[in-house]
Amino acid sequence: MSIQAQKFLISVDDYHKMGKAGILPERGVELINGEIFEMSPIGSKHASVVDRINRLLSKLLDDNVILRIQNPVILSNFSEPEPDIAIVGYKEDFYESSHPRAEEILLIIEVCDSSILYDRQVKLPLYAQNGIPECWLVDLEKKEIQAFWQPIGEAYRFSQLGTDADILSAQNIPLKVPVKKIFS
C-alpha cells in the first residue's frame, strides 16, 4: 500500500500575507510554482555585474520603460520570482499598487554564477511558460550572455550566444548592449 502525501501550494496572496506576518525573511526567498525557494547569496562579483548592467541600461533605455533591480514580478497566482533585472512597461505610479505582471514584462535578465543550473532549469522554463517575451542569462564564469526569445511552452524558440566581441540586440525593445561592457 502506497501513501501519497498531499502537497499544498502557496499562492502569491498567501505569500504576501506570510511576509506581512513576519513568517518570511524580507529578502532571500522567492515563490516559484507555489513553493518557497531560498535564493543564493549575492556575492560581490554578482552584485558588481548587476550594478554595471543597471548603469549601462539606464543610459541606453528611454522613458517608456522602467528598469527594476532585484524586485519581485508576478508571473501567475503561484509565482513571484525576483529576477536580477526586469525591464517593464512604463506606469505612472511605478507599480506602487502591484508588482508588474507577466504581460507587463519586456525583458528579464538573470545574472548567474552559483545559480546557473537553477536559472536554466527552473527560472528560464518558468519565464517561458508565463509568456515573458525575452530572457537573458548572464553567465559570470564563462563571461557570456545567452539571450532567449519567443516563448513556446516551457522553452524559447530562439536563442543567441553573446561573447566579448558581440553586441546583443533585444528583440522587443530598442536596446543594443555591447557584451564586453557588462564584464569589464
In whole angstroms, what is the distance from residue 61 CA to residue 73 CA?
A: 20
Residue 121 DSSP code: I
Within-domain flag for 126: yes
Predicted confidence (pLDDT) at residue 1 exceeds the cutoff of 70: no
Within-domain flag for 124: yes
Within-domain flag for 30: no
Within-domain flag for 50: yes
In whole angstroms, what is the distance from residue 75 CA to residue 99 CA?
A: 10
Count of C-beta atoms within a 10 Å radius of residue 5 = 5
Residue 59 has a pLDDT of 95
Residue 87, C-alpha cell as written in the block: 525591464
In whole angstroms, what is the distance from residue 177 CA to residue 169 CA?
A: 6
- pTM, two decimal places: 0.93
Q: Tally the domains of the chain.
A: 1
HSE-CB of 24 using CA atoms within 13 angstroms: 19
Within-domain flag for 12: no
Within-domain flag for 175: yes
As a whole-number percent, the residues of the chain with pLDDT over 70 amount to: 99
Name the residue type at position 150. Q
Q: What is the mean pLDDT of residues 68-80?
A: 97
Within-domain flag for 10: no
In whole angstroms, what is the distance from residue 37 CA to residue 57 CA?
A: 28
At 155-179, the pLDDT tens digits run 999 999 999 999 999 998 999 999 9
Which CATH number covers residue 122? 3.90.1570.10
| Residue 126: domain span | 42-183
Within-domain flag for 5: no
Q: What is the mean pLDDT of residues 19-37?
A: 91
